[in-house]
Amino acid sequence: MYMGYKFEQYMCADKPGGSPDPSGEVNTNVAFCSVLRSRLGSHPLLFSGEVDCTDPQAPSPQPPTCYVELKTSKEMHSPGQWRSFYRHKLLKWWAQSFLLGVPNVVAGFRNPEGFVCSLKTFPTMQMFEHVRNDRDGWNPSVCMNFCAAFLSFAQNTVVQDDPRLVHLFSWEPGGPVTVSVHRDTPHVFLPTWYVEAMTQELPSPPQDTVP
């Protein structure tokens, strides 16, 4: 994991035309997040995702066209290793970049000692071409349909607005999505100060009156 963060230091500068400074310590708490509004089927979406950097030579300086995702992976030396990479890791890269509209992923391939020996750019919209003729590969439409079905399931399951109530969804390949409900457990992730602040800023619901 830290190899990936260090790779970002070697690849990124603080401003366009600048030079990277990889001499500093890795700080995993520093991040830039892009907030997007989108729609998947009948579901309006509002979500954020981390963006690694921008490309000053992109066709447009406007986000997300200028966004670039940086990744690292081990070197591969056989067709079988590449096939596994396309089937599994490239799927994760596609899902992350496609949802955010990031057009390119730049991958650094490292040797067993952790040194990056080569770079390769994977355009997000062309990733599927690597598995199109692989019967065990993935399909973007299947992925998005699964996501839409899960959102419908979650929407129909979570019907109570309670910050102390946590619905824990889980899924294993080949089986259905399962859900368990927990109240005031270690799964609760919204701090009290946040819930109180948000509650105070929301208008009170209208009160029913008896004529």
Region of 92 on the Ramachandran plot (φ > 0 left; ψ -120 to 50 alpha; else beta) = alpha
104 and 15, same domain (yes or no): yes
Q: What is the pLDDT of residues 52-86, one digit of tens each?
A: 999 999 999 999 999 999 999 999 999 999 999 99
Q: What is the pLDDT of residues 158-167, one digit of tens each?
A: 999 899 999 9
Calculate the dihedral angle through the C-alpha atoms of 55, 59, 61, 66, rounding to the nearest 10 degrees. -40
At which of 99, 114, 141 does a domain end? 141
DSSP strand pairing (178-183 vs 165-170): antiparallel
125 and 182, same domain (yes or no): no
178 and 127, same domain (yes or no): no
Angle made by CA atoms 35, 40, 45, in degrees to the nearest 5? 30
> Structurally, how many domains does the chain consist of?
2
181 and 133, same domain (yes or no): no
* pTM, 2 dp: 0.85
